[in-house]
Amino acid sequence: PEGLHALMMSAGKEYFGTATETDNFGDESYQAILAYQGEFGMITPENSQKWEVTEPRRNHFVYTNADAVSEKAQDNGHLLRCHTLTWHSQLPSFVSSGSWNTTTLTSVLTTHITNVMTHFKGQCYAWDVVNEALNEDGSYRESVFYEVLGDEYIPLSFKTAAEADPDAKLYYNDFNLETSSKKADGAERIVKLVQESGARIDGVGFQAHLIVGQTPSRQTLAALLSRFARLGVEVAWTELDIAHDFSSSSSNGSSTANATQLEQQAQDYVSVVGACLDEPKCVGVTVWQFTDKYSWVPSTFPGRGEPCLWTADYKKKPAYDAVSRLLREA
Ligand code: G3I
């Protein structure tokens, strides 16, 4: 085998995947890599399954783009990781600025989850049921869901999801769990909250939006994954990218990575993917786009960028070669 997914399978894991979106479908060079046999085994829609897209107005459901991503997965023989149901961001205004009470918001939330999951029933290997419910200090993030329903909205989401699609794995997904121990404590509290409610939670997704040179070691990351595995859930890297911080002094004003920075990025990718290899309950790795051309990072964090495995003009970066070597030797 040579592609990342094929190598990942040989290493005993389930998939190596990538986020993608319908905006990328007309780019032939991009599509050639996405479809290359053995490179990827899983795709995640980067935006098209989010609430503002799937239910922009109450009880008005739109699946055009999400269906197109699902068809792309089928065409390429890839699994689909579905993303995401209960999230404070990319909410339509009818949800975020409605005046709700417990009964009405419960109805809106369960209707959304049931409708979306029923539409994609049988197509999703896993769903990110609840996304980013935590602040950096591990407390619950203020959101319309938390304000009206308290932490009960979390088990409610999982219970509703389990009923809608009994075959999809159900995940809690968040970022900075890798770097904030208080936030990781919060995620552990969420897993236990759902388990103690009697609802099903199958996995914790660690987004892993990381920074070159500030990525924890393989050993630290593996310990984090195994801490969650011990709770009885599987784990995965769900949105991996490792951005250069071009505002740092080592960049000397440049906004293109030099050889040293590319080598550090490669080492950091090896730490993250290696930690998954080290934890038997880590099922796979998803990168959040595979080319710098379409990364979300530079527009959201000016001064940061080039976080992906391929350059913007589709050359494999040292990080690609390092991950490939790591998996070949696993
Ligand atoms: O669709 C509109 C388009 O009509 C409009 O013209 C354009 C103008 O700005 O905006 C388009 O929406 C953008 C959308 O992506 C689709 O391209 C939004 O502005 C933009 O904010 C949005 O960004 C996405 C972001 O989530 C939103 O929070 C990124 O692409 C996406 O990569 C990012 O993904 C998130 C995960 O879902 C959760 N974890 C963090 C991760 C990175 O932020």
Residue with tokens 């071009």: 246
Residue type, 260: T
Does 239 participate in catalysis according to the annotation?
yes
Confirm or reject: Cβ of 21 under 6 Å from ligand 1: no
User: What's the distance, CA 126 to chain centroid?
Assistant: 11
Confirm or reject: Cβ of 104 under 6 Å from ligand 1: no
Per DSSP, the three-state class of 20 is strand
Q: Whose CA is nearest to atom 38 of ligand 1?
A: 131
pLDDT at 251: 78
**Secondary element (H or E) of residue 298:** helix 297-300
Beta bridge partners of 20: 45
Q: Which of 132, 178, 234, 279 is catalytic?
A: 132
Confirm or reject: Cβ of 47 under 6 Å from ligand 1: yes
Q: Which of 46, 55, 239, 306 is catalytic?
A: 239
Residue with tokens 């990328």: 24
What is the ipTM score, two decimals?
0.94
pLDDT at 133: 98
Does 132 participate in catalysis according to the annotation?
yes
Encode pLDDT of 232-266 as tens digits. 999 999 999 999 999 987 777 788 999 999 999 99
Q: Whose CA is nearest to atom 35 of ligand 1?
A: 46
pLDDT at 254: 80
Gap from CA of 239 to ligand 1 centroid (Å): 14
Q: Whose CA is nearest to atom 29 of ligand 1?
A: 296
CA distance 183 to 137: 6
Confirm or reject: Cβ of 102 under 6 Å from ligand 1: no
Gap from CA of 101 to ligand 1 centroid (Å): 29
What is the number of helices (H) and of strands (E) in the chain? 13, 10
CA distance 151 to 185: 15
pLDDT at 255: 86
Per DSSP, 277 falls in state H
pLDDT at 303: 95
Q: Is 282 in contact with 227 (CB distance < 8 Å)? A: no
Q: Which of 47, 129, 237, 242 to mutate to test the pocket of ligand 1 (most atoms within 8 A of CB)?
A: 47
User: Which whole-number Å values give the CA distances from 154 to 47, 50, 196, 268, 283, in the listed order?
Assistant: 21, 17, 12, 32, 23
Encoded tokens for 243: 């951005």
Q: Whose CA is nearest to atom 20 of ligand 1?
A: 296
Ranges of residues in the chain with a pLDDT under 70 are 1
Q: Is 264 in contact with 217 (CB distance < 8 Å)? A: no
Q: Whose CA is nearest to atom 34 of ligand 1?
A: 46
